[in-house]
Amino acid sequence: MAERIPEEKIDQIRNSVDIVDVIGDYVNLTKQGRNYFGLCPFHGENTPSFSVSPDKQIYHCFGCHAGGNAFSFLMDLEGFSFQEAVVNLAEKTNIPLDIDVSSHDKNVKQSPELQQMYDAHELLCKFYHHLLVNTKDGQEALEYLLKRGFTMESIEKYKIGYSLNSWDFVCKFLQKRKFPLDLMERAGLLIKRERDGNFFDRFRHRIMFPIHNEKGNIIAFSGRSLGEEDPKYLNSPETAIFNKSKTVFNFNRAKKHIKKEQRAVLFEGFADVIAADAAGVINGIATMGTSLTDEHVQLIRKSTDHVTICYDGDTAGIQAANRALDMLQSVGCNVRIAWLPEELDPDDYIKEYGAEKFKNEVIEASLTYMSFKMRYLRLGKRLNDEGERLRYIEEVLTEISRLTKAVERDHYLRQIASEFSLSLDALQQQQKQKFYSMQKNTKNQPQSLPQEPFLLQQKSNNVLRPAFQNAERMLLAHMMNNHDITLKVQEMLSGNEFNVDEHQAIYTYLLAYYESGYVPDTSNFMQFIKDKELRHIVADIVMMPVNEDFTEKELSDYIKHVLNHQKMIKIKEKIHDEKEAERQKDYAKAALIAMEILQLRKSLEK
């Protein structure tokens, strides 16, 4: 069982950690005024509606209403328990916990089956690596790798290994360590023979590349054949822990470099990532034998909005790059394309021309959107044929019409005019026509690149609410900032409740919070609230702009709205009763109710 972490330690950690740093590890944040904004990690979006307040040490999403403090961020995003979140932040702030944290393993919350799958991968990864670098069995594979240009450094860093040329070595290895074989089959490590139901090893006599998830757990392997036998790469199948369309190779290692350099380099295969890393490109990632999916794009977009695509230089690679470019561009990424010459792949290029040239003449000299499109559209066209040439110009004009900056449009129009000796005026005319017809066609479609998101999103927080709801939220906002105001509100409500159940619940929590001797501190209060939905509402309320000097007049106005609403509901009920009495011709009763209504109306505070 996990040892309890003392309150004081938790307070100490909460006070020394900065929520901007914690969230900054996951979300690319930009400062706007007092707060930071970024793409919400809890729901897919292309324009930032996620905000972090360094003053209040909380976060809030105007889109999906997620909200909380640094601890709840890790709990909601990583699936950590409260204790795990505390342990994680203790490490980050270098505050020693002086308790046994071994039971606070990252995956402690996982189901035991998933945990066993991770454990088996971890164990096998170490074993395969040992076989490759330390044993005679792995010598052939090691020599093969070194001959192919892999360095010992890369082999260490990427924990590359070797699987023995045996049908049942891994099978026995796992069995001896009490891993259930049918579970290991579902983890993709073993294969079950239909004929007799026996298990055998999936990977035999292959160079083994471990694949990690975002958190750094090993979830799969890719096994490369040593010779020419097919397939060249054998990947783990899709399992409960491995989903190809969501997995980005090296993301766990590269994400901090991506944040720092404000750019990701996207490769076609993981071998390219490893080769590029050895050449000094450390922010490289790749998909796992599939083309780019929307899920990959969302994952990348959350960490940066600048991507360089570096796919193979052959036709298939260029076509895939064009598709990836459109996908990344559509979620608001600024994309460049590194175009490799002579149909080379990145790995071959580095071997041929060296690391320096790869960095300077391929990655650094990558093409802008428009330069790439102009080269791409040219492929396979014979431009000395008039028909093909006109088609090319037409296609380029379409791309130019997509550019948002007038200077850029002008630049490329001039380039086309001079290359094909055309009149610039005529080109400009044609481009404008194209632009208008495109506008017409896309009128009913949502804009792919909406700008100025922040103010727009901010407004959605102030949706028109009935006066009493707004009053309750304003009262709560001030009460969270000030214990005295809370006492005053308590007195003025004199036993009456808030009309909105959630507001009443937050109010009750707040009274208990102050009674426990705590001082106003939103982040701490968040922790006090055990209900996630309520926490989200608190975050929503806290992010409302409120004026610091709160007058008695405002206070009593808000209270009036709250109390009047309750009376208004009662009056409505009474009117209904009165009508009902009239319908039943019980005029005495109706008259009595009418009196009560009058009384209630009088008591409404003006």
Binding site for Zn ion (CB under 5 A): 40, 42-43, 61, 63-64, 66
Order across the sheet with 306-310: list the strands. Answer: 248-249, 284-287, 264-267, 306-310, 334-337
24 or 63, CB closer to Zn ion? Answer: 63
C-alpha to C-alpha distance for 341 and 339, rounded to whole angstroms: 6
Minimum CB distance to Zn ion, residue 327 (Å): 21
The answer to whether the beta carbons of residues 287 and 248 sit under 8 Å apart is yes
* Residue type at position 124: L
Minimum CB distance to Zn ion, residue 502 (Å): 19
Minimum CB distance to Zn ion, residue 85 (Å): 19
43 or 359, CB closer to Zn ion? Answer: 43
Contact partners, residue 474, CB within 8 Å, separation at least 6 = 544, 546, 554, 558
| DSSP classification of residue 234 | E
The answer to whether the beta carbons of residues 292 and 267 sit under 8 Å apart is no
C-alpha to C-alpha distance for 160 and 223, rounded to whole angstroms: 10
Minimum CB distance to Zn ion, residue 217 (Å): 25
Minimum CB distance to Zn ion, residue 331 (Å): 15
Minimum CB distance to Zn ion, residue 27 (Å): 11
Minimum CB distance to Zn ion, residue 499 (Å): 27
C-alpha to C-alpha distance for 301 and 37, rounded to whole angstroms: 14
50 or 128, CB closer to Zn ion? Answer: 50
43 or 106, CB closer to Zn ion? Answer: 43
List, in sequence order, the alpha helices (H) in 341-402. 346-353, 355-357, 369-378, 386-402
C-alpha distances (whole Å) from 246 to each of 43, 122, 241, 286, 297 are: 15, 20, 11, 11, 9
64 or 600, CB closer to Zn ion? Answer: 64
Order across the sheet with 218-225: list the strands. Answer: 161-163, 206-212, 218-225, 233-235
Work out the burial of residue 88: count CB atoms within 10 Å of its CB; fewer than 13 is exposed, 13-18 middle, 19 or more buried.
buried
- Nearest 5°: the CA angle 475, 476, 481 is 100
C-alpha distances (whole Å) from 261 to each of 80, 255, 258 are: 29, 10, 5
Q: Is the peptide bond before 446 cis (omega within 30 degrees of 0)?
A: no
C-alpha distances (whole Å) from 264 to each of 119, 340, 456, 495 are: 30, 17, 28, 58
Minimum CB distance to Zn ion, residue 39 (Å): 9
What's the token pair of residue 300?
């990348």
β-strand pairing of 284-287 with 264-267: parallel
| DSSP classification of residue 229 | P
37 or 173, CB closer to Zn ion? Answer: 37
53 or 163, CB closer to Zn ion? Answer: 53
9 or 65, CB closer to Zn ion? Answer: 65
61 or 335, CB closer to Zn ion? Answer: 61
Minimum CB distance to Zn ion, residue 332 (Å): 16
Minimum CB distance to Zn ion, residue 55 (Å): 21
11 or 214, CB closer to Zn ion? Answer: 214
431 or 458, CB closer to Zn ion? Answer: 458
What's the token pair of residue 406?
């007038």
C-alpha to C-alpha distance for 440 and 430, rounded to whole angstroms: 16
Nearest alpha-carbon partner for 208 in 265, 267, 129: 129
The answer to whether the beta carbons of residues 521 and 534 sit under 8 Å apart is no
* Residue type at position 358: F
The answer to whether the beta carbons of residues 204 and 173 sit under 8 Å apart is no
Minimum CB distance to Zn ion, residue 474 (Å): 24
β-strand pairing of 218-225 with 233-235: antiparallel
54 or 63, CB closer to Zn ion? Answer: 63
Minimum CB distance to Zn ion, residue 576 (Å): 41
63 or 237, CB closer to Zn ion? Answer: 63
Minimum CB distance to Zn ion, residue 61 (Å): 3
Minimum CB distance to Zn ion, residue 64 (Å): 3
73 or 127, CB closer to Zn ion? Answer: 73
